[in-house]
Structure 1
Amino acid sequence: MKKEYDLSKMKSRKNPYASKLKKPVTMRLSEDVIEYFKEMAEEKDVPYQSLINLYLRDCVVHHRKVDISWRDKP
C-alpha cells in the first residue's frame, strides 16, 4: 500500500445512491400513532422513523391505497 495516492487524475462520477437518499420532511402525526411505532421499533431494535419509512415503502412497493370514503349518516 502506498503512503500517498494521487487523486488528481481520478475521474468523477455521479453518486449511484443519490436517488435513494432520504429527504427530511415535517409531518403531524397523532400521539397514538407515534407511540405505536416507537413500541414496535423498540421490539425490533430499529429507530422508529426508520420503521415508519419501511412501512410506507412497503405501501409504495405493493401499491396500497387507503380507503377514505366517508359513509353518509342515515
Structure 2
Amino acid sequence: MKKEYNFTNAKPNPYAARLRRQISIRLNVDTIEYFKKTAQDVGVPYQKLINMYLSDCAAKGIKPTLVWK
C-alpha cells in the first residue's frame, strides 16, 4: 500500500445515484413471514425479494387501492 495517493484526476462515481440506501421500515410480522417463506422457496434473501417486488411495482407504476371504512 502506498503512503500517499494522488486523487487530482479522480472522477465521481457515476453509479453513486443507483446505490442502495439502508432504511428502517415497520412491517407486520405476517408480511415478513410471507416474504421469508416465499424467498426460501425461490432461493433468494427475503430482503432482496421485497426490494424486487417493490421495484417491479415502481417500474410498472402500480399504486395501491385503498378503501377507508
Q: TM-score normalised to the size of structure 2?
A: 0.81
User: What fraction of aligned residue pairs are identical, expressed as a percent?
Assistant: 42
Secondary structure in structure 2 of the residue aligned to 1:36: helix
Letter in 2 for 1:36: Y
The structure with the larger Rg is 1
In 1: Cα distance, 2:61 partner to 2:12 partner: 30
Pairing partner for 2:45 from 43, 47, 55: 47
Shift of 1:11: 2.1
2:26 is the alignment partner of 1:24: no
CA distance in 2, matches of 1:8, 1:26: 37
- Partner of 1:68: helix, strand, or coil? coil
Task: Provide the aligned length of Structure 1 versus Structure 2.
Answer: 65
Aligned twin of 2:57: 59
Question: SS at the partner of 1:25?
Answer: coil
| Distance (Å, rounded) in 1 between the aligned partners of 2:7 and 2:61 | 46
Amino acid at match of 2:36: K
